[in-house]
Structure 1
Amino acid sequence: MSAEQLVQLMDAAGVKSMVLMARYYRGAKDAGNGRDEQALEFARKFPGRFIPFVAGQRGDLGGRNRQVWEGPTQIGDNFLQQAEKKLQSGGYFGLGEFILKHYAYTNFGVQGGGDVDLPVNSYLMHRIAEVAVKYRLPVLIHLEAEPEKVTAMAQLLETKRGAKFVWAHHCGRSSAQQIREFLTRYANLTCDLGGMTATRQGGYGRYWPKQTPWMHLIEDGSGKLFPEVKLLFEEFPHRFLLGTDAAHTPALDFYAERIDRFRELLSQLRPATAENLGYGNAQRLFGLK
């Protein structure tokens, strides 16, 4: 999809800017064929509308290459060197999304990737965090909040307190109480709400692609925040970001619907909290005006 088409989508939905992350997979059928350079080109063509990341969804960093995460490898070294070279341009605002614990799914007739189970508090993630600290950028992680993964995430946040981490999908769809404990303990953690609306094709806002005992949602399916989630947002108004998680191009057909649902959810919060979640937190995290 062209930059012009994305801008039209944002304009129609009343959105000022979006994060862009390429997906370095096998081809367009897999929503791949993206490039970091393309994201940067879009941002330069339409200043203020796109927030490009150095992408983490790459086949050579995927589930079949566990050894890349566990110790020094040429693949890992190459990625870090290329990432630093790109970050030196000053045009990127984050690193990721790094897929560490992911459930297989097929959506919109597109294979969204198989099960992924990679180490969290790992050699490569430590090095990625060090690069992020050097350039003062956040690291975005996809990690379903299974108990052993939660423990490993706590270890990572503790070990790399100088790095800013964004834990995707409401901190891996953790419970409100678990998120409260993490946000209280780790000032370097932000939760994004990517895809957490329970709309048509809403993805992570439902028990999808499978339900687990440790999976928790933010709304009841009709646009009403659960009371414990509403309280959490009010307690930590500076620690959450919105996101549509339109990882596959067909999902953009539902972009405006997801944005409208977020507006409905935000309307249930105090105005200052809604403004922070809607745009203020992102502006601060990415150093935007």
Structure 2
Amino acid sequence: MRCLAVSLTVVMAVSAVAATAQERLPLFDAHVHYSHDAVEMIPPAAAVAILRQAGVRKALVSSSDDEGTQRLWREAPDLIVPSLRPYRRRSDTAGWTNDPTIIAYVEDRLSRYRYRALGEFHAFGSDIDKPVVQRMIALARHHKLMLRAHSDADAIDRIFKSYPEAIVLWAHSGFDRPERVREMLHKYPNLWADLAFRNDHASGGVVAADWKAVFEEFPDRFMVGTDTFTPERWHYIGPHADFSRRWLSSLPRDLAERIAYRNAEAMLLKVAPGPGLQQ
């Protein structure tokens, strides 16, 4: 009995060490917003503390309006990777594709600050063919920025038709089925996908078989993200980081590290040099 107790103690200790090591897996959160209402509720120093306490080593941040992103980047330039969202206020989300004044706003911000991406923006299907969106895609081409698209598969097709060399991060993996995501990744080598605000890829800390197959086929194309689309979601960054590490621990270590942070870093090295990531 004593030997059994000792053995169990050793097993539990080893398991605890393994769990601690997995908890220390750094994360690149590829889907963070810090909009005007979040700034009011969570000051920049507190927001940075939340990210660091969660073990986030980098965060790709955009906001409505862009001032939130700039304030957060000034607070922690080693942590924040700025992305320019084409929204001056939340209400722009619905009508921006038909609003030419959006372009003046985007051009002004691009002339004053440096970014690694344009987006997250919401555009579906034929929205991509509208002049406002086409001009934004042209600006991404000119400035060599990644496009962060909250879009359906049809819109992704249209983006690459407009700009075949684009680097595109597909927000939420399009909220699409794993087999459809697989099809799109096959079609476009410069398409990456984040897993923000979806948990169908993992249950009970284990990756679903259909998603695992896609992760293994495309080990360098997925990344984690929280999506702080409301201020309250900032308080979920820590728990979401824990959730991510749990399901990542069910994957081989190399694949887990790729999805946790390496893929996002590699993706951003393909765009123009800029703040938030050494090149």
Give your verdict on TM over 0.5.
yes
Kindly report which structure 2 residues correspond to 1:172-251, keeping only aligned pairs within 5 A, or say none: 172-196=174-198, 205=199, 217-220=200-203, 222-251=204-233
Secondary structure at the counterpart of residue 129 of structure 1: helix
Distance change in 2, residues 1:160/1:6 (3 Å)? same
CA contact (8 A) 2:205 2:250 kept: no
Paired amino acid for 1:264 = R
CA contact (8 A) 2:62 2:83 kept: yes
Give the Cα–Cα distance (whole angstroms) in 2 for the partners of residues 66 and 43 of structure 1: 27
Equivalent in the alignment of 2:120:
97
Paired amino acid for 1:276 = R
Per-residue displacement from partner, 1:113-135 (whole Å, max 9, x unpaired)?
xxxx9713433222212211222
**1:61, distance to aligned residue in structure 2 (A):** 4.2
Equivalent residues, number:
229
Per-residue displacement from partner, 1:86-120 (whole Å, max 9, x unpaired)?
3xx43x2211111225xxxxxxxxxxxxxxx9713
Secondary structure at the counterpart of residue 189 of structure 2: coil
**1:67, distance to aligned residue in structure 2 (A):** 2.9
Asked if 1:20 corresponds to 2:68, the answer is no
CA contact (8 A) 1:51 1:93 kept: yes
CA contact (8 A) 1:194 1:245 kept: yes
Equivalent in the alignment of 1:252:
234
TM-score relative to the length of structure 2 = 0.74
Per-residue displacement from partner, 1:166-219 (whole Å, max 9, x unpaired)?
1111x21211111111111112211111122xxxxxxxx3xxxxxxxxxxx312
Give the Cα–Cα distance (whole angstroms) in 1 for the partners of residues 95 and 68 of structure 2: 26
Which of 127, 132, 135 is residue 119 of structure 1 equivalent to? Answer: 127
Per-residue displacement from partner, 1:40-75 (whole Å, max 9, x unpaired)?
23223322111121113345744245533xxxx3x1
Asked if 1:7 corresponds to 2:13, the answer is no
Structure with more contact order per residue of length (Cα contacts < 8 Å, sep ≥ 6): 2
Asked if 1:41 corresponds to 2:44, the answer is no
Equivalent in the alignment of 1:63:
94
Paired-residue identity, %: 24
Give the Cα–Cα distance (whole angstroms) in 2 for the partners of residues 51 and 155 of structure 1: 26
Asked if 1:278 corresponds to 2:271, the answer is no
Asked if 1:137 corresponds to 2:145, the answer is yes
Give the Cα–Cα distance (whole angstroms) in 2 for the partners of residues 256 and 77 of structure 1: 35
RMSD: 2.2
Give the Cα–Cα distance (whole angstroms) in 2 for the partners of residues 83 and 281 of structure 1: 27
**1:82, distance to aligned residue in structure 2 (A):** 1.6
Distance change in 2, residues 1:136/1:64 (3 Å)? closer
Give the Cα–Cα distance (whole angstroms) in 1 for the partners of residues 67 and 155 of structure 2: 32
Equivalent in the alignment of 2:6:
none
Equivalent in the alignment of 2:27:
none
Give the Cα–Cα distance (whole angstroms) in 2 for the partners of residues 38 and 67 of structure 1: 24
CA contact (8 A) 2:150 2:171 kept: yes
Report which of the two structures shows the higher radius of gyration computed on alpha carbons: 2
**1:286, distance to aligned residue in structure 2 (A):** 2.5
Give the Cα–Cα distance (whole angstroms) in 2 for the partners of residues 17 and 77 of structure 1: 28
**1:236, distance to aligned residue in structure 2 (A):** 0.8
Paired amino acid for 2:158 = Q
Secondary structure at the counterpart of residue 127 of structure 2: coil
Secondary structure at the counterpart of residue 251 of structure 1: helix
Equivalent in the alignment of 1:81:
107
TM-score relative to the length of structure 1 = 0.72
CA contact (8 A) 2:97 2:132 kept: no
Give the Cα–Cα distance (whole angstroms) in 1 for the partners of residues 137 and 170 of structure 2: 13
Distance change in 2, residues 1:79/1:259 (3 Å)? same
